[in-house]
A and B are shown apart, each in its own frame.
Chain A
Amino acid sequence: MTAWDRDPAARGDVVVDEVRMTYVSEGRTTVAIENASGTVRKGRFVSIIGPSGCGKSTLLDIVAGLTRPTSGQVRIGGESVTSPRRDFPMVFQDDSTLHWRTVLDNVALGLEIAGVPKAERRARARDILGVVGLRGFEHHRPRQLSGGMRQRVAIARALVMEPAMLLMDEPFGALDQQTRTLVGIELLRIWEETRTSVLFVTHDIREAVTLSDEVWVMSRRPSTILDVVHVDLPRPRDTDVLRSAQFEGYVGVLWDLIQAEVASAMREQERAAS
């Protein structure tokens, strides 16, 4: 064992350590996350899948420092994450572009907040727009762009922060199926170019297999991480890879893991509704 393996946080890995999250509402305690542990190794793409309402997004908020866990902690480089960090930018499900700013100034927003001088932040934003394939749209307003393009602006706004880890909360959830697939493939290309650590929440199994090195499967509430599936598909993941039997094999494995959880989560919701 090397020193790095013993202390993964030392080299920019993000360690989720026994995170537990409970809510108290109207005198009743709800356990949202029973126990979640795992490590996103530097430069890896990790997805979290699970039935809806299982606390995937809550876990992501905890990693982002937006929500404090009831117990446990998230660490990077030996440092505990207790408040939002600019090097952990987030891409949201809903459109989060600012309609009164140009695409370029949208992308530069985080740098502006961080106090980076105008010329430098514009230059960096321009470079990143090239990476996400939006060169030539610098002076457009978000409403002149399609939903898929706006999500790429949000991805660029996060990437320009040179993130230690990129957090994505169902970023394609509000897009139609075809757009979703195309923007997913675009993200695959961007990620293979940048190799940033990513923690990606989705409920789409195929999306998770397409993008990820590792998929964490979460159980229904009270949630735990049921299993971690390593997706050893070759990169770059071209059409051949994405149509291979091996790809379908991973989809099958994940579906088997998640099926029982989704079914019982659905039964629970139906019971609660009746």
Chain B
Amino acid sequence: MSVLDLGGIRMSIRPALGRMPAWATRVVVVAALLTAWHLAVAGGLVSSLTVPAPLDCLRRLPGILGTAAFWSDAARSLRTTVEAFAAAAAIGVLAGALLTRLPVVARILEPYIVGAYAVPVVVFYPTFLVVFGLGTAPIVLTAFLMAVVPVLMTTMVALSELRPTHRKLARSLACTRWQAFRSILLPSALPLLLPGLKLGFVYAMAATVGVEFIVADAGLGFRIGELYRNFETVDMYVHILAMIAVAAGFNSLFNLLERVIRKDLA
């Protein structure tokens, strides 16, 4: 009977998952996804013209990684992302701190800031293209606008969540402004501030690649779009996988940085 069978499977899988280290489970998940992908193509569930088999992609990978074009595209996308993110981080944190100190201004601007979250900034990309021309400037600007909102908002939340007792403690110890910031207020805000920055980077990267896809002259997004239009599906998928690897790599790097910066996670 199916119900009993399901129970039996659950009984046998659970302890096995529990005993396995988390990283091993993650490897199994990726392997399962790749196998499913392979079976779907091999079994004719999807046409190999639309989705290539994973092994074909794997065979093509060294060839693409060996081209200068791939690396210059990756470098272009990365530089655009980092520029947009750096501007969003600096301006978002500064503006967030400023608005927290000026509650009246913050109250007036609040609907606009919250509303900015809902605006698909991408719609302004054609305007930026007309104004700034076909270079990285309109892409950086679009990605910046996407990234700055979550950074600004999490900064405001992080600063408004600071405990009044911590502020009073800083004052009662006769801290200088810098000491209060460095030793008490900043570490206290980090648990909310860092995820905001991480989110900003993710937004910046997504916007960069997405906008490159529309109109650009280089970059991973541009290349994927071009390969798509030329029906070079294998190469396209290799670029997509590379893109995923870069994004996941940066996310891991940020998590690592977070552990180094936030002493309470040690």
Contact = CB atoms under 8 A, between A and B. Distances in A.
B183 A113 contact: yes
Interface residues of B, number: 19
B165 A84 contact: no
B166 A100 contact: no
Contacts of B263: 100-101
B126 interface: no
Contact of B172 (A84, A99, A141): A84
Interface string B193-226: 0000000000000000000000000000000000
A109 B262 CA distance: 17
Contacts of A89: 172-173
B173 A98 contact: no
Nearest to B188: A98
Given A98-B184, A99-B264, A100-B264, A110 B165 contact: no
A152 to B, nearest CB: 16
B interface, by DSSP: helix, strand, loop or mixed? Answer: helix
A260 to B, nearest CB: 32
B175 interface: yes
B68 interface: no
B183 A96 contact: no
A114 B172 CA distance: 12
Interface of B: 163, 165-166, 168-169, 171-175, 179, 183-184, 187-188, 190, 262-264
Question: Closest 8 CB pairs between A and B?
Answer: A100-B264, A94-B165, A90-B172, A96-B165, A84-B174, A100-B263, A113-B173, A100-B187
Given A96-B169, A100-B264, 17 more contacts: A64-B172, A66-B172, A88-B172, A92-B165, A92-B168, A92-B169, A94-B165, A95-B165, A96-B165, A96-B168, A98-B166, A98-B187, A98-B188, A100-B263, A109-B173, A113-B174, A113-B175
Interface of A: 64, 66, 83-86, 88-90, 92, 94-96, 98-101, 109-110, 112-114, 141
